[in-house]
Chains A and B, each alone.
Chain A
Amino acid sequence: MRKTLKELPRNTKARVVDVAPGHAISVRLVELGFMAGEWVEVVHEAPLSRDPIVVECAGTRIALRRSEASLILVDDSPECSGVQS
């Protein structure tokens, strides 16, 4: 199912579909490896508010707020997440 990275539950693998353009960090997110087809997983959530989150993507751990995570569209359909990277 398609959703933004903001809504992706912890410890669930998903594939990046797209990064919304236009935000100050859109380009930087792509540079850090958020590209279509790349595997991502939320590996940590901050205490209490569960925001920001730590996302593992292309072998890199990136901390970002959920508001920025909402720029990243992902797909966690079973046929996607069933395949191990």
Chain B
Amino acid sequence: MSGSEKVLVALVGHPNCGKTALFNALTGLRQKVANYPGVTVERVESDLRSDLGHPLRVLDLPGAYSLNPQSEDEKITHDVLLGGMGTDVRPGVLIVVLDATNLRLHLPIALEVRELGYPICVALNMIDLAEAAGMQLNVKALEEALGCRVIPTSATRKDGLVPLVEAAAKLASSEFDASKIQWAPSTREQIILRRKSVEDILRRTVVVPGHPSLFTTRVDRFLLHPFLGPLALLAIVFLVFQAVFTLGAIPTDWIDGVISNFASWTRSQLSSGMLSDLLVDGIISGVGAVLVFLPQILILFASLLILEDSGYMARAAFLMDRIMGRVGLSGRSVLPLVSGFACAIPAIIGSRSIQSPAQRLATILITPVTTCSARLPVYTLLIAAFIPNTVVAGLFGLQGFVLTLLYILGAVSAFVFAGLLKAFNLTGAGGYFLLELPTYRLPSMRTVLRGLLDRARAFIVRAGTLILSIMVLLWAMSTFPRPPEGATQPSINYSLAGKLGNIVAPLLEPIGFNWKISVAMIPGFAAREVLVSALGTVYAVESENSEDTSALTEKLKADWSLPTALSLLAWYVFAPQCLATFAVMQREIRSLRWTLLSFTVLLVVAWLAAFITYQVAGRFL
């Protein structure tokens, strides 16, 4: 990499020290997101903002309470600091970020990394909040006690950034060899000793202690109230999903319009033929089918980022822990599982903050069943085609009701799976729940925006690479080989996709899938949402008349029975049709046995669910 000659400055600190906000203030919005070697954990690294005047690279390490790792993300920080990540990720300077409003909790990690021998300087972060709480501190005395520069900073007000960078740049010239670090886990005596010297340091440096946040205490009295707390949680979840589906629909329709206009414009510019088919049916409609639900994913992620950055997510975890504990999960599973409603991949990666290995494994294994947004286009298409839009009980539409039912079915199944894992003691014992409830803060818009940009980029890259290539492949598979001269059947029947679909068709016949569904299912294993565009391709390629503009909905209505449609919906609740999810799962849990088992079980359950649905619906409808 081009930046490899620049000294790497790592930000170290607790999960709630405002480290990421400081990182964003130091680096601006450009950044390189790579992964740490061997794990999918995002490595957030960037050049220092050029106006800060020093050619340094900054690395935002996962939050850690100490070097004794208690979770997978703390282990990353541990490995990086002890030089275990290879020369590519070897910091030369550490900035220890402390929450100035709670130095007793935050100072020990500064002492701990200082003991490693790193050149360090300290960012006394959120100093604005500490001062607002009335705290007065002798910074000079603190510098003497710690033996390093201490710079009061406020990421939100961008205070102290210049002196902090100066201090780090001065340290960057010192020779330090991370590969020579000697380290052993701290004993309890060492931890107590460190806390005692922190008490001693605070006695000498704090002139006036700040008063604790009354705001947080007051808000918690309401949000953690035995009755009002759960109600507030329900209301928040309801609002988030309302925003996803109602607000999200506006840009979705807009994107949809742009794409279909672009498709017809492209077709009008080209003479009809293979190139036009590839561009319009293969690429534009395929990638477009995926891009349309970007707004919904982003709204869900924005909500989660805001809830997390404000400190509420920890409260939700507390309120939900009992229910999660019943099925062997923990309150910490709440955030990953809720983000699973956007996409299982960040959800699985997010599970690394769950400390207990058993709870983490269980959370990861059930994540593929949460209703990720890739299922939404499939659900929407089938519901629009097959469920009449009648009003039930004078209140809600039948279509919306069925959609809600599918979401509930996903969530309930996730719980049932977790319960089964626990009942048979498959993921092992040893679950616990331990979580700091941070002080409530106004979410940093910059942090939220940056998180969103990352997700949008990852999503668009995926749509533009993986899904694009699948669409081209699928188009080729369903176009070649060309039908022989004087063929009587639709041309797709002669193609490779048609042949493959016919091979698996007998397996899918008992659940009511025709061979076209079977064909579309094959690329659908790459990503669920591909099914929609694949069906579009299969049905469009099949109709010899390229001027046939009737919507896919109409074609499906004419071709499928209601039991088939319901069966496909049931299939999609469970089917492991996203290979990327299982690739990430494998990288995160490093157990081929569990990954394959999870894939197989979900496949079998999907088949059974579809079978039961098809048979029952065939009897009664």
Contact = CB atoms under 8 A, between A and B. Distances in A.
Interface in A47-84: 47-49, 51-52, 54, 58-65, 67-68
Contact of B224 (A26, A54, A62): A54
A25 B102 contact: no
B435 interface: yes
Interface in B203-228: 212, 216, 220, 224, 226-227
B189 to A, nearest CB: 10
A44 interface: yes
A63 B68 contact: no
B325 interface: yes
Nearest to B71: A28
B341 to A, nearest CB: 23
B68 A27 contact: yes
Contact of B356 (A24, A27, A44, A64): A24
A32 B438 CA distance: 13
B320 to A, nearest CB: 9
Contacts of B68: 27-28, 31
Contact of B188 (A24, A30, A61): A30
A43 B218 CA distance: 12
Interface string B163-204: 000000000000000000000001010011001000000000
Interface stretch (B236-244, B271-279, B426-434, B508-516): B426-434
B321 interface: yes
B229 A47 contact: yes
B192 A61 contact: no
A31 B322 contact: no
Given A44-B224, A54-B224, A63-B331, A31 B433 contact: no
A61 to B, nearest CB: 4
Given A30-B191, A47-B227, A63 B437 contact: yes
Which of A28, A45, A47 has most chain B Cβ within 10 Å? Answer: A47
A63 B191 CA distance: 21
Contact of B432 (A32, A45, A51, A68): A68
B105 A52 contact: no
A21 to B, nearest CB: 7
Nearest to B226: A47
A46 B66 contact: no
A32 B435 contact: no
A25 B432 contact: yes
22 contacts: A25-B70, A25-B355, A26-B188, A27-B188, A28-B68, A28-B70, A28-B434, A30-B188, A30-B191, A30-B195, A31-B108, A32-B105, A43-B220, A46-B318, A60-B436, A61-B216, A62-B436, A63-B314, A63-B321, A64-B432, A65-B321, A65-B433
Interface of B: 65-66, 68, 70, 102, 104-105, 108, 186, 188, 191-192, 195, 212, 216, 220, 224, 226-227, 229-230, 314, 317-319, 321-322, 325, 331, 355-356, 430, 432-437
Given A26-B188, A47-B229, 4 more contacts: A28-B68, A30-B195, A62-B436, A63-B433
Query: Which 9 A-B pairs rank lowest in CB-CB distance, beginning with the nearest?
Result: A61-B437, A63-B318, A44-B224, A47-B226, A63-B435, A64-B434, A65-B433, A49-B322, A60-B105
